[in-house]
Amino acid sequence: MKPVVHPNPWQELREYTAARIALGRTGASMPTDELLKFGLAHARARDAVHQPFDSEMLANSLHEEGLKTLTVHSAAERREQYLCRPDLGRRLSSDSRELLLAVADKPADLLLVVGDGLSSKAVHRQALPLIQAVLPYVAQLELTLAPIVLAHQARVALGDDIGECLQARMVAILIGERPGLSSPDSLSIYMTWDPNTCRLESERNCISNIRPEGLNYPQAAYKLAWLLEQAFQRRLSGVQLKDESDNPVMQGLIRPLASLPTANDA
């Protein structure tokens, strides 16, 4: 008797990736179990988008690390408005702007912003361990750190608005990515030199797919630290600053504080 599900020649590759490959087939259709897995993955992605950002929980965890925090909101008042009006997620609400301007006294070298973006699940899982991995590099670079800002209904450009209010020399916003079917909890970092509301998308550097199954915390922290060192030396960010952190010739003060995989480990 022939098998009901016809195997795919790529079947063995599934142990190396969570991507939806080598699903097999039943006749001309997808197998029932893979169809059910697709529905589950789609539901998880939708949940990641709509799950509320628990900034209080994250703030408490950061306070235990000895870090100060501020909580702000974008001009998008509700999740539905945030999804339909991306422009509102790029700027602060009036109350949040007043709060930041009131506490902006001494400009800091680096401002870290944690924004929910399109996946608060990513922020809940990845933000704290990533920040813990970044802090030793911040100390190594002798950068002054502003209070960490936790931002609700945030788009990437909100980091520039926050950075301008707090007069930070550099902003790095940790934000939840648009969920994928195999990665509903992926985090990105967007870094901008001299943040202000006139900055263009091309003036930011991005580090993406930060999660244990993708770019792990030590790797992401090292990449960010390398970019920070180069940005402060060159006084720029974006397309003019390429990530060459894997090139030993380009290494300066910043060296990996943890063992990172090499090409020979693949």
User: Which pLDDT tens digit goes with each residue over 201-246?
Assistant: 999 999 999 999 899 999 999 999 999 999 999 999 999 999 999 8
Residues 6+ apart with CB under 8 A from 81: 88, 153
> In the sheet that 148-152 helps form, which strands lie side by side, from edge to edge?
69-73, 148-152, 110-115, 170-176, 187-193, 204-210
Q: Is the pLDDT of residue 1 over 80?
A: no
Average pLDDT over residues 191-198: 97
Antiparallel, parallel or unpaired: β 204-210 and 170-176: unpaired
Nearest to residue 149, comparing CAs of 161, 133, 135? Answer: 161
206 known ligand binder: yes
- Percent above pLDDT 90 for the chain: 71
Q: Please report the domains of the chain, with CATH numbers, ordered by start residue.
A: 54-234 (3.40.50.11240)
At residue 180, the pLDDT reads 85
What confidence tier does 252 reach under pLDDT thresholds 50, 70, 90? confident
The answer on whether 84 is annotated among ligand-binding residues is: no
Tokens of 228: 């920070």
Predicted confidence at residue 264, as pLDDT, reads 41
Residue 75 is predicted with a pLDDT of 98
Residue 15: its pLDDT value, please? Answer: 81
pLDDT at 266 (0 to 100): 42
3-state secondary structure of 197: coil
90-103 average pLDDT score: 97
Averaged pLDDT, 145-171:
98
Cα–Cα nearest to 111, from 186, 227, 55, 192:
192
pLDDT at res. 43: 92
Return the exposure string of 162-174: e unless at least 16 CB atoms fall within 10 Å of the residue's CB, then b.
bbbbbbbbbbbbb
Separation between Cα atoms, residue 241 and residue 227, nearest integer Å: 8
* Poorest-pLDDT segment among 1-15, 96-110, 114-128, 231-245: 1-15
Q: Which residues on neighbouring strands pair with residue 110, listed in sequence order?
A: 145, 170
pLDDT at 258: 62
- Does 56 show up as a binding residue in the annotation? no
